[in-house]
Amino acid sequence: MARELTHFIDGAHVKGTSGRFADVYNPATGEVQAKVPLASAAEVDAAVRNAAAAQPAWAAQNPQRRARVLLEFVRLLHRDMDKLAEALSREHGKTIPDAKGDVIRGLEVAEYCIGAPQLLKGEYTDGAGPGIDMYSMRQPLGVAAGITPFNFPAMIPMWKFCPAIACGNSFILKPSERDPSVPLMLAELMIEAGLPKGVLNVVNGDKEAVDAILDHEGISGVGFVGSTSIAHYVYSRGTAAGKRVQCFGGAKNHMIVMPDADLDQAVDALIGAGYGAAGERCMAISVAVPVGEETADRLMEKLAPRVEKLKIAPYTDGNDADFGPLVTREAQARVMGLINKGVEEGAKLVVDGRGFKMQGYENGFFVGACLFDHVTPEMDIYKTEIFGPVLSTVRADSYETALKLAMDHEYGNGTAIFTRDGDTARDFVNRVNVGMVGVNVPIPVPLAYHTFGGWKKSVFGDLNQHGPDAFRFYTRTKTVTSRWPSGIKEGAEFSIPTMK
Ligand code: NAD
């Protein structure tokens, strides 16, 4: 019998009461291993009231005390790393080393947030006028919420709740219904680390819970990560309800390979960035753009045999697998449909993984690695985010054509250039309209103390995730002008004060 998962409210696991559930699969076997409750608007409301009640006392603690909870949380994440990685792989399907990376990239944001006392320091002008001082404070929003995707079930929830909580907010996390166990475990660990009950709550659910969050008057800020159409929807509905909202969406990341690039390095990069986590990463490279026919021919010659040799396996098969299954049967069918479409559209399928079957795991959601050549910008496989182990190659006749491809694509999350020429790299970095750029680095995911965010249709909103922007997003500024001690002894002023 499938386990029944819970919500996590007021520091405890709480059973769902809506009567609605979603199946949580083991993607390697295709079996349903748990069912997750889908919250009703009434359940969301109860969680928000609880979070609102807990928030003032949490905000009143000095920032150093709040930071100490995160310090302890980091220690507990290390203690439970194996357990977390196993739970993550069991629901997501990624390999154990990759699952640990998922936890660590979240943990690093928790580490950054330990610096909250420094990051929350305001601005102060001594003597802004005669006897007048002026200062700006950063105050929490109140209750904030995070709606997160399936592909990083540890990292992205931590990107959301660590800075929000460090700033003195309480938080409602609505994780993906595909892999909700790790978010629940993270909430347990925060309580063990000393977080007061009610400050971090996990409400599982689908569109109904999301809509309830977006409409709820008690929530002041919402952070979202997921596909672009939902990101746009969440941004529109949340801002219409007067909330501060930041939404991070889909991607189609191009890697430009110049004729002077070290092709062995470029091939290594494309293999890891294109096929790692079965391509289910918003920073995956999904388009290779070799510049010049000769570069393209040499690249394909080296790339194809490497793609053929990729080892696909369930996470239980040891640590030498390159990637595992996709997250659901629907994802598998969608990716297979797009590969078929690419063939119909006339792209050349150089490595065809469609027939891949994992022995002993025939019902798992596996798709073999695919490599396309001669993809063109009109094709669906070029325009759409595939989110599977499929790399498309678009041949460009010049650097300018390659740059234009990346610039004309509707998404602008990440991109990379491989070259030995500093001048070309510099030009690319300056001109490309993409938020995160790698020079001889295929997945330029910024570290915790920089900020993460794309451009164009990869984002709705104006501040990035983690780094200093997160502290701006989860606080609002209050600016105080104070005059001591002269008061109004010289009489009231009736015209607006100016710098005379
Ligand atoms: P998704 O959009 O299906 O789901 C994201 C969240 O939205 C989930 O919590 C889900 O329950 C909720 N949701 C789904 N349908 C909804 C609806 N109709 N109304 C309201 N809420 C809804 O995304 P996913 O499949 O979980 O994740 C993959 C996507 O996320 C990819 O497009 C990937 O590029 C993107 N992503 C982006 C970033 C980034 O930082 N830009 C990072 C990771 C993933």
Distance from residue 147's CA to the centre of ligand 1 (Å): 8
Exposed / middle / buried, residue 495 (Cβ in 10 Å: 0-12, 13-18, 19+): exposed
Active site residues: 282
What is the C-alpha to C-alpha distance for residues 169 and 54, in angstroms, rounded to an integer? Answer: 9
What is the C-alpha to C-alpha distance for residues 150 and 325, in angstroms, rounded to an integer? Answer: 14
Token pair of 107, please? 């943990």
Ligand 1: residue whose CA is nearest its atom 43: 282
Q: Three-state SS for 235? A: helix
Distance from residue 116's CA to the centre of ligand 1 (Å): 28
- The pTM of this model reads 0.96
Residue 167 near residue 140, CB atoms below 8 Å: yes
How far apart, in Å, are the Cα atoms of 173 and each of 47, 51, 164, 460? 10, 11, 11, 19
What is the C-alpha to C-alpha distance for residues 254 and 284, in angstroms, rounded to an integer? Answer: 9
Ligand 1: residue whose CA is nearest its atom 20: 207
pLDDT at 496: 82
Angle, to 10 degrees, between the axis of helix 207-215 and the axis of helix 41-60? Answer: 50
For residue 458, which atom of ligand 1 is closest to its CA? 41
Distance from residue 152's CA to the centre of ligand 1 (Å): 11
What is the C-alpha to C-alpha distance for residues 92 and 324, in angstroms, rounded to an integer? Answer: 9
Residue 260 near residue 420, CB atoms below 8 Å: yes
Angle, to 10 degrees, between the axis of helix 96-113 and the axis of helix 63-79? Answer: 160
Token pair of 145, please? 């919420």
Residues 285, 322, 154, 174: is their CA dihedral positive or negative? positive
Sequence-ordered list of residues with C-beta below 8 angstroms from that of 453, at least 6 positions apart, any chain:
248, 435, 436, 459, 463, 464, 465, 469
What is the C-alpha to C-alpha distance for residues 25 and 387, in angstroms, rounded to an integer? Answer: 18
pLDDT in tens, the chain (500 residues): 789 999 999 999 999 999 999 999 999 999 999 999 999 999 999 999 999 999 999 999 999 999 999 999 999 999 999 999 999 999 999 999 999 999 999 999 999 999 999 999 999 999 999 889 999 999 999 999 999 999 999 999 999 999 999 999 999 999 999 999 999 999 999 999 999 999 999 999 999 999 999 999 999 999 999 999 999 999 999 999 999 999 999 999 999 999 999 999 999 999 999 999 999 999 999 999 999 999 999 999 999 999 999 999 999 997 789 999 999 999 999 999 999 999 999 999 999 999 999 999 999 999 999 999 999 999 999 999 999 999 999 999 999 999 999 999 999 999 999 999 999 999 999 999 999 999 999 999 999 999 999 999 999 999 999 999 999 999 999 999 999 866 555 666 777 877 66
Distance from residue 304's CA to the centre of ligand 1 (Å): 31
How far apart, in Å, are the Cα atoms of 430 and each of 177, 227, 427? 39, 27, 5
How far apart, in Å, are the Cα atoms of 99 and each of 71, 277, 321? 21, 9, 13
Residues 37, 42, 44, 47: is their CA dihedral positive or negative? negative
Which among 136, 415, 151 has a CA at the least distance from the CA of 257? 415
The residue whose CB lies within 8 Å of the most ligand 1 atoms, and thus the one to mutate among 20, 252, 282, 413, is 282
Residues 117, 119, 120, 122: is their CA dihedral positive or negative? positive
Ligand 1: residue whose CA is nearest its atom 15: 207
Whether a cis peptide bond, with omega within 30° of 0, leads into 314 is no
Ligand 1: residue whose CA is nearest its atom 1: 226
Ligand 1 pocket: which residues have CB below 6 Å?
147-152, 174, 176-177, 206-207, 210, 225-227, 230, 248-251, 282, 385, 387, 413, 454, 458
pLDDT at 131: 87
Ligand 1: residue whose CA is nearest its atom 22: 207
Distance from residue 348's CA to the centre of ligand 1 (Å): 30
The strand pair at 12-14 and 7-9 is best described as: antiparallel
Token pair of 421, please? 């020429």
The residue whose CB lies within 8 Å of the most ligand 1 atoms, and thus the one to mutate among 94, 174, 176, 228, is 176
Which among 145, 251, 243, 242 has a CA at the least distance from the CA of 201? 145
How far apart, in Å, are the Cα atoms of 127 and each of 134, 240, 482? 8, 40, 10
Triad 279, 103, 248: Cα angle to 5°: 55
Q: How many other CB atoms are there within 10 angstroms of residue 383's CB atom?
A: 12
What is the C-alpha to C-alpha distance for residues 167 and 198, in angstroms, rounded to an integer? Answer: 15
The residue whose CB lies within 8 Å of the most ligand 1 atoms, and thus the one to mutate among 38, 148, 150, is 150
Distance from residue 231's CA to the centre of ligand 1 (Å): 7
Half-sphere exposure of 245 (CA within 13 A, CB side): 26
Segment 10-15 long-range contacts (CB within 8 Å, at least 24 positions apart): 10/50, 10/54, 10/197, 10/198, 10/201, 11/191, 11/196, 11/197, 11/198, 12/197, 13/184
For residue 251, which atom of ligand 1 is closest to its CA? 34
Amino acid identity at 344: E
pLDDT at 497: 74
Residue 298 near residue 263, CB atoms below 8 Å: yes
pLDDT at 487: 54
How far apart, in Å, are the Cα atoms of 384 and each of 83, 238, 286, 287, 387? 35, 26, 10, 11, 9
- DSSP H/E element including 42: helix 41-60
